[in-house]
């Protein structure tokens, strides 16, 4: 079975997010003064082939996040997996 994966990666809450602050500042300059708590992270989409179950797919995605896609020291990640129509 093939799987469609969407991964969301954000800095942990305790880590300063300069990109988020920059975006918030930019929005303020455009007179959007009702915006707060801006966080900027990564969104990754990918397809996984030939895994027999959602559990196996989830296991591989978690491992890929730990090893390459995210930096687990400073980032949190979450992901969603859906079966791809054959």
* Residues near its own copies (CB under 8 A): 8-10, 23-24, 26-27, 30, 32, 34-51, 60, 64, 67-69
Smallest separation, CB 73 to its own copies (Å)? 18
Name the residue nearer to its own copies (CB basis): 43 or 73: 43
Smallest separation, CB 72 to its own copies (Å)? 15
3 state DSSP class of 56: helix
Token reading at 45:
């989409």
Are 81 and 57 in contact by the 8 Å Cβ rule? The answer is yes
Are 77 and 8 in contact by the 8 Å Cβ rule? The answer is yes
Name the residue nearer to its own copies (CB basis): 37 or 73: 37
Smallest separation, CB 1 to its own copies (Å)? 11
Backbone angles phi, psi at 30, to 5 degrees: -90, 15
Name the residue nearer to its own copies (CB basis): 9 or 58: 9
38 closest CA partner among 49, 28, 53: 28
């Amino acid at each position: 079975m093939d799987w469609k994966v969407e991964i969301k990666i954000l800095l942990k809450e305790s880590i300063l997010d300069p990109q988020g602050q920059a975006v918030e500042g930019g929005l303020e300059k455009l007179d959007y003064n009702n915006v707060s708590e801006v966080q900027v992270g990564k969104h990754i989409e990918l397809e996984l082939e030939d895994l027999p179950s959602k559990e196996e797919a989830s296991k591989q995605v978690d491992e890929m996040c730990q090893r390459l896609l995210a930096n687990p020291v400073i980032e949190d990640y979450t992901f969603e997996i859906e079966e791809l129509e054959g």
